[in-house]
Amino acid sequence: MATTNLLPVIGKPSPDITLPSTTGEPISLKQFKGKKTVVLYFYPKDETPGCTKEACGFRDLREDFEKVGAVILGVSNDPIESHLKFREKHKLPFDLLADEDAAVSKAFGVYKQKNLYGKKYLGIERTTFIIDRTGRVAQIYPKVKVEGHVQEVLGFLGDE
């Protein structure tokens, strides 16, 4: 049941991904290459307290991310229908991507064995990646604690 996928390496090209999105069109990382920095954040599940707080944090600072030339993309294993409801309910101004088969989560090394109340299961470990305009991984925030995380990411982008 354990997964052995490793995180991408800072300074190396990001895995290339294309996933269904809340725009109705698939979104690929390569469409931002040369144009925008991508904040790609993986979160466990729509409508859970930590995930909602994290999404709303990115929502509330979206204009600041735009000022530094960054686009925000959220990824979880939830289906598009769930993402659409989550996005609408919390007025999220960025796209959510559906990684239902966990292929992208595995490619980024964030699909891990988790333990909740003694029950083991596979799921996403909350992790954020900064992918620069050249398509390389600029920063990784593994095992994210929601409190202060969005500000930390914005601070990193402001220093770039």
How does pLDDT run across 87-118, given as a tens digit for each residue? 999 999 999 999 999 999 999 999 988 887 88
Half-sphere exposure of 110 (CA within 13 A, CB side): 26
Nearest residue to 137 via CA among 129, 148, 127, 147: 129
Look at residue 3 in the predicted model and tell me its pLDDT. Answer: 45
- Nearest to residue 97, comparing CAs of 23, 149, 3, 159? 23
**pLDDT (mean) for 10-30:** 92
Q: What is the pLDDT of residues 36-91, one digit of tens each?
A: 999 999 999 999 988 999 999 999 999 999 999 999 999 999 999 999 999 999 99
Characterize 2-34 residue by residue with b for buried, 16 or more Cβ atoms within 10 angstroms of its Cβ, and e for exposed: eeeeeebeeeeebbebebbbbeeeebebeebbe
Q: Which of 109, 117, 104 is nearest to 75 (CA)?
A: 104
Catalytic residue of the set 51, 96, 98, 137: 51
Domains identified in the chain and CATH numbers: 34-159 (3.40.30.10)
Instruction: Please report the pLDDT score of residue 160 as a whole number.
Output: 57
* pLDDT tens per residue across span 131-147: 999 999 999 999 989 89
Please report where in the chains the tokens 């095992």 appear, as a residue: 143
Question: Which pLDDT score, from 0 to 100, does residue 113 have?
Answer: 86
| Residue 51 a catalytic site member | yes
Whole-model pTM: value is 0.92
